[in-house]
Amino acid sequence: MAPRLLIIDDDAELRELVAAYLTGEGFVVEGGRGDATDVDRATTGGYALIVLDVMLPGTNGFDLLRRIRAASPLPVLMLTAKGDALDRVLGLELGADDYLPKPFNPRELAARIRAVLRRAAPRGPGRPADRLIVGDLEIDAGARLVTCGGAIVNVTTAEFDVLEGLVRAAGQVVSREALVREVLGRAFSPFDRAIDTHISHLRRKLGPRPGGGDRIKGIRGVGYLYARPGEAS
């Protein structure tokens, strides 16, 4: 079944152009203008992903993202103003899975959507679905479930993938470039702070290690490391 997408943007012409292109790429696309009903549609409409513009009349995409995140982990890709790093960081802080600056190439939008959907897809038979356990942290890679200290931790699609990448290499440094390329599925830019934002969220959600100390350590100028039990804080 073709993935269903909801494009929330008040620019009707842009919605139609994007919808036409993505339909040709095999998606089922519906549009929304950013009104109050779009949050209900987004969280109950059975969509695979939401494309959400930051600039909306009467409200803004960040408000809608907050309300969507309060009700659902549904993947969200934000459309931001070109060159506005603050919008991109704020979107990630609020739980967006990816962002794309306007104006954009529809081909890149389709590629970004596919990358997010691949990361969000449950792993079926024949794919690695093992459990990763490091100390009191457990990841069920097949069910895309994270538990820490016996409690379920709610993470976004991107946060799950960053954490899984670090835990699979627990005790070893993973470069920011590798995380961007292999986890987020896009070309690395030294000015891209998405990984750092996802790491910040994970640290807050997971809390410190039993006995204190960071679970995820930043290695200046290199990348990040998920600490194994017994390693120095």
Give the pLDDT mean for 89-106. Answer: 85
Residue type, 140: D
The pTM assigned to this predicted structure is 0.65
pLDDT at position 83: 64
Q: Which residues span the domain enclosing 113?
A: 4-120
pLDDT at position 125: 46
Q: Which two tokens stand for residue 139?
A: 């990841």
Last residue of a domain, one of 60, 87, 120: 120
DSSP 117: H
pLDDT at position 126: 41
Q: Which residues of 88-106 are buried (b: 16+ CB within 10 A; e: fewer)?
A: bbbbbebbbbbbbeeeeee
- Percent of the chain at pLDDT above 70? 94
* Residue 233 lies inside a defined structural domain of this protein: no
Domain count, the chain: 2
Check residues 56 and 207 and name the one with the higher pLDDT: 207
pLDDT at position 122: 66
pLDDT digits (tens, 9 = 90+) for 62-85: 888 888 888 888 899 999 876 677
Asked whether residue 105 falls in the same domain as residue 142, the answer is no
Enclosing H/E stretch for 118:
helix 106-120
pLDDT at 224 over 90: yes
pLDDT at position 123: 59
pLDDT digits (tens, 9 = 90+) for 167-220: 999 999 999 888 888 877 777 777 778 888 899 999 999 999 888 888 999 998
Beta carbons of 214 and 208 less than 8 angstroms apart: yes
* Residue 125 lies inside a defined structural domain of this protein: no
Asked whether residue 101 falls in the same domain as residue 21, the answer is yes
The SS3 of residue 32 is strand
Asked whether residue 166 falls in the same domain as residue 192, the answer is yes
pLDDT at position 93: 81
Asked whether residue 112 falls in the same domain as residue 11, the answer is yes
